[in-house]
Chains A and B, each alone.
Chain A
Amino acid sequence: QKEVEQDPGPLSVPEGAIVSLNCTYSNSAFQYFMWYRQYSRKGPELLMYTYSSGNKEDGRFTAQVDKSSKYISLFIRDSQPSDSATYLCAMTTNTGFQKLVFGTGTRLLVSP
């Protein structure tokens, strides 16, 4: 079993839809949770960052962490064609070297 599981998609939605992207994980020691966005042929860029449990909102994006269920989500409201990309979750502990563990990424396609 992988430490972090993420549905590869693709997830296809119409413009304006609410998108829900999810990851599950097995290591209960994970404390830092991130979402990266990667456009085709580009490097990933940090989109959202959350420490421990709870929600964080930034514009159209909301990140949620449910540590009891070992489940994190990224919601995109009013999705735009420019949101079409691969979204990778990443997480790490707060001890040791703290390498980020990445999910495999979910490809999102938003059609106009």
Chain B
Amino acid sequence: SQTIHQWPATLVQPVGSPLSLECTVEGTSNPNLYWYRQAAGRGLQLLFYSVGIGQISSEVPQNLSASRPQDRQFILSSKKLLLSDSGFYLCAWGTGTNGYTFGSGTRLTVV
């Protein structure tokens, strides 16, 4: 069966520090991968998606970047965090027609 792992679960980082969130998927090959951010009380904002190794599409201009160094690994990064980067970050895999499977999320607080 397919599983998705996301870590860490919680992160508190100072403004200006770097960020690296990792997501891995097991049990499937060449998945479509997604990074979402969910601000408190707000909906899901799609940040990046990837259809293959090294292929990244950005949905919104921002302080973040994404990379896909391996088929089932998706990384969200920032060189210098801003207060506005705080939120709940979710990784997902799947297709629109079959639905997405989400990871358990990372709660990031930038202080």
Interface residue SS majority, chain A: loop
Query: Judging by beta carbons under 8 Å apart, are B99 and A34 in contact?
Result: yes
- Is B103's CB within 8 Å of the partner chain A? yes
Q: How far is the CA of A41 from the CA of B102 in the complex (A)?
A: 12
Q: B90 near A43 (CB under 8 angstroms)? A: yes
Q: Which residues of B contact A45 (CB under 8 A)?
A: 102
Pick from B42, B46, B88, B105: contact of A99, CB below 8 A: B46
Question: Is the CB of B101 closer than 8 A to any CB of chain A?
Answer: yes
Specify which of B90, B96, B103, B104 is in contact with A32 (CB 8 Å cutoff).
B96
Q: Can you name the residue of chain A whose Cβ is closest to the Cβ of B43?
A: A104
Contact between B97 and A32 (Cβ–Cβ < 8 Å)?
Answer: yes
Contact with A along B15-27 (1 / 0, CB 8 A): 0000000000000
Contact (Cβ within 8 A) A46 B101: yes
A71 at the interface (CB under 8 A from B): no
Q: Which of B41, B42, B46, B102 contacts A43 (CB 8 A)?
A: B102
* A41 / chain B contacts, CB cutoff of 8 Å: 88, 105, 107
Residues of B within 8 A of A104 (CB): 42-43
